[in-house]
Structures are given as C-alpha cells and as structure tokens.
Amino acid sequence: MDQDSSMLVLLIKRQFLQMRQLRQFQWSLTESIASSGSTTKSSSVATSLSATTPEMQQAIVDKVFYDPHVMKHPPSPTYQYSFLKKLITMIEGENVHEISSDLLEIFADLIMTAPKRPEDGGPPLEPCFKSYSLDRECKKLVTVMEEQTTISSGTTGLRTWEASFWLAEYFISHPEALEGKNVVDIGCGVGFLGIACALLGAKKVVLTDGNTEVLSMARNNISYNVVPCPTTASLLDWENFTKEQIAALEADVLILSDLTYDPTNITPLVNVLKAILVKGVSAYMSSAIRNPKTFVDFFARIKQECVGVEIDELPLQDADHLFFFDTDTVQTVKVFHLYFP
C-alpha cells in the first residue's frame, strides 16, 4: 500500500474510532486536504483516492475492523452498522467496483446483531467505547467508555466535550507544559483529558470530580489505557474539601475543561481554585463560550479571589485539527493559562 493510501486508511480509522458523525465523515483524501487548506501539487494526486476502491475496501476490513485495538474496544455496533451501510451505498452508487465479500460478511453480522437507533424504534443508546488519537498514525490512543447522550443520570459529565479537544491539541503542540509535572484534572468527567496528559509526558495524573458515578467511569477508563505514569481518580467536592485533600494532590499543573457553563458552579469552582492555584502552580483551562456573562463573571471572581494571578489567552490553530469537531454545533472555544508570575 502506497503512502497516500495508508494516509487515507488512517484518516478513516481515526474518524471511526472517534465515532464521527457520518454526515461529516471524510471518505477521501481530497476532502481532507481541501479542509486543511492545502494547495500543494500533491493534492492533485490525492483527488483520486477514495474509500470505495477494492484496495481501500480490503484495508478497511484488515486495518479498521480487524485491528486489535478496534476488536478490543469497538465503537457501538449501531455506529459500525451505519458506517458500513454508508460505505456500501457509496460503492453501489458509483457502480464502478464490486463490494468486498469480507465487507459484506461483517455487514451481514451487524444486520443481525446491531440494535436500531432510538429514532428507528430501537432501545435507548448505551455507553460505548470511543478512542481519540493523539497523533495521525493512531499510535497513541486515549480510549474511554462514555455516554452517547448529552445528559445521563442527571449529569453532563459522562461524555467527552469538544472544549477538551482544543486543550489536548495545545498540549500535543506544547508538551513542555506537562513533562515531569504532577497534573490534576479538575472536573475530569470521563477522563479523556487527564489520560491524554498521562500519555503526553506528565509525571503523575490525578483525575478529580464531585460526582461518584462520573468518578467510577473515569476509574474504569484509566484501566482501558496503558498509561506510563501513576494515574488515579479521586473525589473532590468543590463545596466540601479539606486542606489535607488539597495538599495530597501535589499539583504542579491544573487542567480544567468546560466548567463555566453553569452559573451555580462559579463560586465553588473559584473556591477550590483559590485553594490549589498558588505560586508555582499553573492552570490551563478551555471553555466553550455558551454564556458570555457566566464566563466574564468567572474571571472577575478569579481575579478578585486569587490576587495577582495572570491570565493569558493562548493562541489556537484554526485548521488541520487532529480531532474531529461537529461542525453543526461547534462553538467558540477559548484556552487560557492562569499562573502567578
């Protein structure tokens, strides 16, 4: 398989593992290169590469469906079924290539076993595996079990939110922010960001959350990954914590993602940050700006309670993202560095 074909297989695999919305799926390198703004001569060669060719069909079977990681931590059966249905429909529509018998065999199995989506009369969506690649070669993956719905069990903490992708991309580009540091994830949710930090060079990672069900899922998600440093999950109630709890965290770096959406969170969040964010500790925070007033109120309180803290907005890349964003719902995301000079 040539280099361009390998690139396309990896692109498809990364999207498949993240369970990217199929209406936004990139099935050819043409779409990928166009979306990144490339105008190099090589793009003209890539325009003919499509997932529908016999070579690519077989590669999807061998390197996606039969990949050891996919077989151990597969996306939901319903997503796999929809993925293959879309691919087979594309092949039939082009009427150029035969459909791989191996693809049809996998599809036939999924027809028999995959539940329908709720809107088609199926049961409610259940938690499933998603894997997020920290590189373009799928060599460094964060695998988490998470809900497929926005709110479950009365909390939004049981799924990964896109603001964490922006902060993860910043750390991938700036690993020096984490290397050799004790990292504490405040409001960790399912643990994607904290586990990513463990894989990106942190010395130690502690995932914290105030919801016991969220923490249980985070602990399980740690176990699905081969982390190279001590990585644990601990209860941290923002309204009821002790000095001993804070000291035990041994924080060098705090990470926070999408915690300012709820006005009722502001006071307790600021209180816990006031206790942990001291001289010598840095905080990195990403947030989707859903409620500008809440966002402004949060920073006003931080400056009031953490006197002397510096707040720098960090530049973000606006193209060629490593992770896949839902372009129908994507919101303004900002990333900040908070520290004492």
Is pLDDT larger for residue 161 or for residue 180? 180
Q: Which residue's entry shows tokens 């997932």?
A: 51
SS3 296: helix
16: nearest Cα among 55, 51, 53, 44: 51
Neighbours of 301 (CB within 10 A): 17
Same domain, 205 and 333: yes
Check pLDDT > 80 for residue 40: no
Q: Cβ distance 303 to 274 under 8 Å?
A: no
On the question of pLDDT at 221 being above 60, the answer is yes
Q: Which two tokens stand for residue 305?
A: 């309670």
What is the DSSP pairing of strand 231-235 with strand 310-313?
A: unpaired
Question: For 143-173, what is each residue's pLDDT tens digit?
Answer: 999 988 765 555 555 678 889 999 999 999 9
Query: What does pTM read for this prediction?
Result: 0.91
Supply the DSSP symbol for 155: B
Does 176 have pLDDT greater than 50? yes
58 and 206 fall within a common domain: no
CB 254 within 8 A of CB 282: yes
Q: Is residue 217 part of a domain?
A: yes
* 97 lies in the same domain as 189: no
Q: Give the domain-ending residue among 79, 106, 122.
A: 122
Compute how many other C-beta atoms are within 10 angstroms of the C-beta atom of residue 317.
11
pLDDT above 50: residue 107: yes
pLDDT tens-digit series, residues 66-81? 999 999 999 999 999 9
Q: Which residue has the higher pLDDT, 204 or 321?
A: 204
Report yes or no on 70 lying in a domain. Answer: yes
The answer to whether 91 and 133 are in contact (CB under 8 A) is no
Q: Smallest Cα–Cα separation from 49: which of 34, 23, 30, 26?
A: 30
Kindly state whether residues 90 and 217 are assigned to the same domain.
no
126, amino acid identity: E
Assess whether 106 and 237 both reside in one domain: no
One domain, residues 89 and 164? no
Q: Find the mean pLDDT for residues 30-59.
A: 63
Alpha carbon 113 to chain centroid distance? 27
In a domain, 146, yes or no: no
The dihedrals phi and psi of 142, each to the nearest 5 degrees, come to -105, 120
pLDDT band at 302 (very low <50, low <70, confident <90, very high): very high
Q: What is the mean pLDDT of residues 306-333?
A: 83
Q: Determine contact, residues 126/148, Cβ cutoff 8 Å.
A: yes
Instruction: State which of 122, 146, 167 marks the end of a domain.
Output: 122
- The C-alpha atoms of residue 13 and residue 35 are separated, in whole angstroms, by 18
Question: At 238, which CATH number?
Answer: 3.40.50.150
- Residue 201 CA to residue 125 CA, distance in Å, equals 35
Which pair of structure tokens corresponds to residue 86?
Answer: 């879309």
What is the tally of structural domains in the chain? 2
pLDDT of residue 262: 85
Q: Is 99 domain-assigned?
A: yes
- pLDDT at position 316: 82
d(CA 271, CA 335): 21
232 near 171, Cβ under 8 Å?
no
% of the chain at pLDDT higher than 70: 90
Q: Is the pLDDT of residue 223 over 90?
A: yes
- DSSP 8-state assignment for residue 97: S
Please check whether residues 38 and 103 belong to one and the same domain.
yes
Q: Reply yes or no on whether the pLDDT at 192 is more than 90.
A: yes
Residue 141 lies in a domain: no
Tell whether 228 and 272 lie within a shared domain. yes
Is residue 116 situated within a structural domain? yes
pLDDT band at 118 (very low <50, low <70, confident <90, very high): confident
Judge if 52 and 98 occupy the same domain.
yes
Query: 274 and 211 share a domain?
Result: yes
104 and 220 co-located in one domain: no
N residues, the chain: 341
SS3 212: helix
pLDDT band at residue 184 under the 50/70/90 scheme: very high
Rounded distance between C-alpha atoms, residue 170 and residue 200, angstroms: 11
188 and 321 both lie in a single domain: yes
Are the CB atoms for 111 and 85 separated by under 8 Å? no
- The predicted model gives 85-102 an average pLDDT of 96
Domain that holds residue 82: 3-122
Residue 134 within a domain: no
